[in-house]
């Protein structure tokens, strides 16, 4: 009778499965693999954090531009430094405007966007002005409360495809996404992690840039 292959009534007990020793060995191997892998995973996430944030911003800008044209009314994007969030807002021809989407951004100690890193020149061409952050003059409603006075960068997308600022002036901007070498530092931790997004106000067209250590190179995304 093969006692390892099946259990019989009144016969020897089944021995299928792992022994305690085998389980301990398996758990030990898994622990070692995890201990080796975690630092690489953390390092990978750190290196690509600028890319992740830039792609999130571009996705929301593109979606907002499309919504403005399909809904036939002005929609806007705000990068809110006060709440450290990316906002999509429907201006819906009423006051206050309505928050549609709120996406948390990486901690400012890890990723800065409020200024260009020291020693880095703007993508040229197109050499658009740096994104300007200031006190919001437009408010919106979120969760039954009116939000105003935050430090924001604003881009308002009209149904015609044009992009304007808070007072209806056409804008073209460059947004920089980069990791500071220390909290609040104006110097990037790594030039290879600096990214930029250019927004052309005439059509809402976007371009994604990666810094190669001396200049910005247009990238596909």
Residue 5, pLDDT score: 46
Distance between CA atoms of residues 47 and 60, nearest Å? 22
Encode pLDDT of 17-43 as tens digits.
668 887 777 788 887 776 665 554 444
Encode pLDDT of 179-218 as tens digits.
999 999 999 999 999 999 999 999 999 999 999 999 999 9
121 alpha carbon, distance to own chain's centre = 23
Encode pLDDT of 69-81 as tens digits.
999 999 999 999 9
Report the candidate in 101, 87, 102, 79 with the shortest Cα–Cα distance to residue 177: 79
Taking a C-beta distance cutoff of 8 angstroms, is the pair 1, 12 a contact? yes
- Looking at per-residue pLDDT, the higher value among 45 and 122 belongs to 122
**Share in percent of the chain as helix, strand, coil (round to 5):** 25, 30, 45
- List, in order, residues 6 or more apart from 110 with CB less than 8 Å away: 49, 179
Report the candidate in 61, 96, 49 with the shortest Cα–Cα distance to residue 171: 61
Encode pLDDT of 83-104 as tens digits.
999 999 999 877 789 999 999 9
Residue 28, pLDDT score: 80
Residue 32, pLDDT score: 79
Report the candidate in 193, 5, 212 with the shortest Cα–Cα distance to residue 110: 193
Distance between CA atoms of residues 187 and 192, nearest Å? 13
Residue 41, pLDDT score: 44
Domain spans in the chain, listed from the N-terminal domain onward? 45-219
Residue 44, pLDDT score: 43
Question: What tokens were used for 143?
Answer: 């969760």
Question: What tokens were used for 197?
Answer: 């997004």
**Which CATH number is 45-219's, of 3.55.40.10, 1.10.630.10, 3.20.20.70, 1.20.140.10?**
3.55.40.10
């Amino acid at each position: 009778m093969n006692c390892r292959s099946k259990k019989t009534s009144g016969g020897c007990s089944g021995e299928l499965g792992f022994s305690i020793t085998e389980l301990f060995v398996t758990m030990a191997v898994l622990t070692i693999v995890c201990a080796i892998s975690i630092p690489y995973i953390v390092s990978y996430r750190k290196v690509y954090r600028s890319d992740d944030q830039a792609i999130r911003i571009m996705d929301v800008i593109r979606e907002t531009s499309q919504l403005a044209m399909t809904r036939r009314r002005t929609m806007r994007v705000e990068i809110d430094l006060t709440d450290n969030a990316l906002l999509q807002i429907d201006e819906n021809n009423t006051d206050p405007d309505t928050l549609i989407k709120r996406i948390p951004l990486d901690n400012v100690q890890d990723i800065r966007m409020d200024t260009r890193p020291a020693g880095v020149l703007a993508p040229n061409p197109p050499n658009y002005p740096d994104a300007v952050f200031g006190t919001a003059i437009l408010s919106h409603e979120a969760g039954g409360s009116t939000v105003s006075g935050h430090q924001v960068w604003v881009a308002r997308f009209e149904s015609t495809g044009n992009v304007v600022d808070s007072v209806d002036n056409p804008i073209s901007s460059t947004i920089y996404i980069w990791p500071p070498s220390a909290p609040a530092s104006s110097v990037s931790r790594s030039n290879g992690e600096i990214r930029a997004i250019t927004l052309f106000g005439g059509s809402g067209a976007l371009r994604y840039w990666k810094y190669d250590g001396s200049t910005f190179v247009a990238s596909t995304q």
